[in-house]
Amino acid sequence: MSIIKGIISLMTQDFSEPIIVKDSCEAKLTLDNLLGISSKLNDEGKQVLEQEIKLLQSGIYGEDSIAFELKNSHLPLVVLRDLQLSYAGLSAQIDFLVLTPKVGIVIECKNMIGNIEVNANGDFIRTFSYGKHFKKEGIYSPITQNRRHLELLRKILVEQKGGILSRIFSDMHFEQYFHPIVVVANPKSILNIKYAKKEVKDKIIRGDQLIEYIRRRIINSDMIARSYDDLAKMAEMFLDHHHAKRINVEEEYGQWIENRNVDVPPVSNEKNESMDVVSKSLNIEENPVYIALKNYRLLKSRSENIKAFYIYSNSQLEALVYSMPKSIEELLKVSGFNKVKCEKYGQEIIDIILQNTERT
């Protein structure tokens, strides 16, 4: 579901089913780019690439399985997938952020091959086999990762001056509302947490336990239910601080490209020529394309009787100016602009960019 349709649905009075506000996954774009460059690499590069592709595919599969569970939960959920936050010099990549009227769930997805054990010290240990041999290795604690995610979410919410959310989400209310959870998405993995401390056990579940976990959290919460408008504002606030990071495939794998003169498939995050023009502007808000797109968003929101950020958020507006898409195909590569949104607003956005490019 598009961001526009997601937030509009959230504002209706019948909020009993999941609303997917952000469903895009940057890993899938990276995977497409990696597959596209495979034929250009030498044998050594292909071996490195093969391992990278396997890791990406495993992570995507795990997240897709969680997305499926959430979409079919029949619970009042607002779901944001692959949220890459940047704020006040800090950053965090959150696999899933689930907002409900009474609780928020921060999900760290793990779909690793092998069995996972958590010992009494809280160390995460993975055991996997190759042939007749077994290997154990320590992995970075996903609970620690989630703790850092929470710190950034708190900072974003609490530091928004003058907004209703900053009053609602004091430190005390933040702890009551948000709950971090690690989800082991690989159904073949054996999860051994019997020696872990209770506070650690409570933060780790299997993928097939996720919906029941969320349901229990909602039922047992003592918090006053947040309004639809509050959840929409919160989702928009986080989306405004979402800045997708994508690798430059040619740069990452350039040393293994057999013929540097061979064209490398375009990467979705490469700067086009228009970016050089935009970068010359000391203030993006003075850029003619930015001004025109902002005015279009305002007029469109008034004609449809919806809020302006339903059309696109401020961060998405900036992404349009920096990427300067000249076709629907290019617009689809801009974060937050999926097929549904492009069908509804795409051609008008492109026309505005083309009309104002010569003025930048």
Residue pair 22/63 in contact (Cβ under 8 Å)? The answer is no
Higher pLDDT, 330 or 268: 330
Q: With a cut of 80, say whether residue 84 has pLDDT above it.
A: yes
Comparing C-alpha atoms, which of 50, 48, 61 is closest to residue 110?
61
Q: Are 75 and 215 in contact (CB under 8 A)?
A: yes
For the residues of 200-222, what is the DSSP string, one character each? HHTTEEEGGGHHHHHHHHHHH--
Determine the Cα–Cα distance for residues 44 and 107; give it in Å rounded to an integer.
Answer: 36
Instruction: Examine the pLDDT at 49 and tell me if it is beyond 60.
Output: yes
Which residues, in sequence order, are CB contacts of 203 under 8 Å at separation 6+?
A: 143, 146, 180, 181, 182
Evaluate if residue 59 carries a pLDDT over 80: yes
Contact 325, 346 (CB under 8 A): no
Q: Where in the chain is the domain with CATH 1.10.150.80?
A: 271-357
Number of H helices, E strands in the chain: 16, 10
Query: Measured between alpha carbons, how far is residue 1 from residues 26, 71, 83, 84 in Å?
Result: 16, 10, 16, 19
pLDDT interval class at 296 (50, 70, 90): confident
Work out whether strand 90-99 and strand 78-87 pair parallel, antiparallel, or are unpaired.
antiparallel
The pLDDT of residue 215 is 96
Q: Say if residue 129's pLDDT is above 80.
A: no
Closest alpha carbon to 225 in 43, 69, 360, 99: 99
- Do the bridges between strand 178-184 and strand 104-110 make them parallel or antiparallel, or are there none, so unpaired? parallel
- Segment 148-152 shows an average pLDDT of 92
Q: Tell me the CATH number of domain 271-357, given options 1.10.3720.10, 2.70.98.10, 1.10.150.80, 1.10.287.3510.
A: 1.10.150.80
**C-alpha separations of 88 from 20, 152, 196, 318 in Å:** 27, 9, 34, 18
**101-105, 231-235, 296-300: which is most confident:** 101-105
- Quick one: tokens of 184? 């082991």
Q: Is 94 helix (H, G, I), strand (E, B) or coil?
A: strand
Cα(78)–Cα(1) distance, integer angstroms: 11
Q: Are 202 and 213 in contact (CB under 8 A)?
A: no
pLDDT tens-digit map of 217-264? 999 999 888 877 788 888 888 998 998 877 777 777 877 886 554 444
